[in-house]
Amino acid sequence: QQQVKQSPQSLIVQKGGISIINCAYENTAFDYFPWYQQFPGKGPALLIAIRPDVSEKKEGRFTISFNKSAKQFSLHIMDSQPGDSATYFCAASSLGGSARQLTFGSGTQLTVLP
Amino acid sequence: GAGVSQTPSNKVTEKGKYVELRCDPISGHTALYWYRQSLGQGPEFLIYFQGTGAADDSGLPNDRFFAVRPEGSVSTLKIQRTERGDSAVYLCASSLNGQGNTEAFFGQGTRLTVV
Given this model, what pLDDT does residue A2 score?
57
Kindly determine whether residue A99 and residue B50, on different chains, have CB atoms separated by under 8 Å: yes
Query: Is pLDDT of A56 > 90?
Result: yes
What is the chain B residue with the closest CA to A5?
A: B42
State which of A87-96, A98-107, B87-96, B97-106 shows the largest mean pLDDT.
B87-96
**Averaged pLDDT for residues B68-82:** 97
CA nearest neighbour of B79 among B16, B5, B10, B6: B16
By Cβ distance, the residue of B99, B102, B106 closest to A45 is: B106
Average model confidence (pLDDT) for chain A? 92
Dihedral of CA atoms A73, A74, A75, A76 in degrees, nearest 10, equals -140
**Averaged pLDDT for residues A59-78:** 96
Q: Which residues contact B46 (CB under 8 A, 6 or more apart)?
A: B33, B34, B35, B36, B57, B59, B60, B61, B65, B67, B77, B90
Burial letters A20-32, b for 16+ CB under 10 A, else e: bbbbbbeeeebeb
Measured CA to CA, the distance from residue B47 to residue A48 in angstroms comes to 24
**Averaged pLDDT for residues B72-100:** 92
**Averaged pLDDT for residues B39-68:** 93
Given this model, what pLDDT does residue A81 score?
98
**Averaged pLDDT for residues B48-59:** 90
Given this model, what pLDDT does residue A96 score?
54
**Averaged pLDDT for residues A27-45:** 92
Measured CA to CA, the distance from residue A101 to residue A91 in angstroms comes to 10
Given this model, what pLDDT does residue A83 score?
97
CA nearest neighbour of A73 among A46, A109, A33: A33
Q: How far is A97 from chain B (nearest CA, A)?
A: 9
Choose between A28 and A14: higher pLDDT.
A14
Kindly determine whether residue A100 and residue B44, on different chains, have CB atoms separated by under 8 Å: no
Kindly determine whether residue A46 and residue B42, on different chains, have CB atoms separated by under 8 Å: no
Max intra-chain CA distance, chain B: 41
Q: How far is B74 from chain A (nearest CA, A)?
A: 18
Query: Is pLDDT of B46 > 90?
Result: yes
What does the angle CA B23 – CA B43 – CA B49 come to, to the nearest 5 degrees?
45
pLDDT tier, B80 (very low <50, low <70, confident <90, very high otherwise)? very high
**Averaged pLDDT for residues A83-103:** 82
Measured CA to CA, the distance from residue B65 to residue A100 in angstroms comes to 21
**Chain A residues in contact with B55 (beta carbon < 8 A):** 97-99
**Chain B residues in contact with A102 (beta carbon < 8 A):** 33, 35, 43, 45, 104
